[in-house]
Amino acid sequence: MRFAQNLERILRRIERARLAYDAHQIISLVAVSKYQKVQDILDLYECGQRAFGENKVQDLRDKSVQCAQVPIEWHFIGKLQENKINAMLSCAPALVHSIDSLKLAEAIQKRLGEQTLRALLQVNASREESKNGVSVESAKEVYEQILKSCPNIALEGIMTIGANTEDRKLVEQSFKDTRDVFESVRAMGAKTLSMGMSGDFEIAIAYGANLVRIGTSLFE
């Protein structure tokens, strides 16, 4: 009952933000299930949530096996180390949100074989040293390079983590900069703008996010 109420509340907030931005916008919700018990994931699935995101390869592998009785759409949303690429690929995630460099993309490409991987390019729009991702200034060029040199990576858009601050203007600026990057690569086939978490997803939607990643507010 608690998860059903949480999900309904979040979906209502997403809908209000969506309508305020653009009634034609379609927004996807990924439930961030890191730190959550398998039973809680299954309970939220039973409430109607279908996409779940993990930020560690080991957790993605373990939970996808333990939840194999239901067709969950798994997303990988964390920092990917090169020595974990094969393990990540074996999980066959629906979407990888966090390709944070050309070097990582090329390492993934070498291991893909005939397999195709749907992915997003991570941009460090907040310019924080603690965050991964390419710079706003280089993002368009890196996006184009990945498309050219990594034919088995189906690059579908951009991801960012909003500025970690109470200053709303800085959060807005990080989302605005990411939206500008997204707009610059739409002609290259970009269709997904993944930004916004529990504390800032409504701001992200106001700047064009069409995929939000929410954990705490769903599982509290």
So what's the pLDDT on residue 187?
97
Rounded CA separation 150/142 (Å): 11
What's the pTM value of the predicted model, to 2 decimals? 0.95
SS3 breakdown of the chain: % helix, strand, coil, rounded to 5? 45, 20, 35
Quote the number of domains for the chain: 1
Rounded CA separation 2/202 (Å): 22
Which percentage of the chain shows pLDDT scores above 90?
Answer: 92
| Stretch 175-187: mean pLDDT | 97
CATH number at residue 125: 3.20.20.10
So what's the pLDDT on residue 220?
87
Taking all residues of the chain, what is their mean pLDDT, rounded to a whole number?
96
For helices 102-112 and 139-149, give the axis angle rounded to 10 degrees: 20
Residues 56-99 have pLDDT tens digits of 999 999 999 999 999 999 999 999 999 999 999 999 999 999 99
| Stretch 87-114: mean pLDDT | 96
Lowest mean pLDDT among 43-57, 73-87, 123-137: 123-137
Residues 10-42 have pLDDT tens digits of 999 999 999 999 999 999 999 999 999 999 999
Confidence band (pLDDT; 50, 70, 90) for 130?
A: confident
Residue 208 domain boundaries: 2-219
Residues 146-166 have pLDDT tens digits of 999 999 999 999 999 998 899
Instruction: Give whichever of 125-129, 143-147, 163-167 has the largest mean pLDDT.
Output: 143-147
Decide: 4 and 47 in contact? Cβ < 8 Å: yes
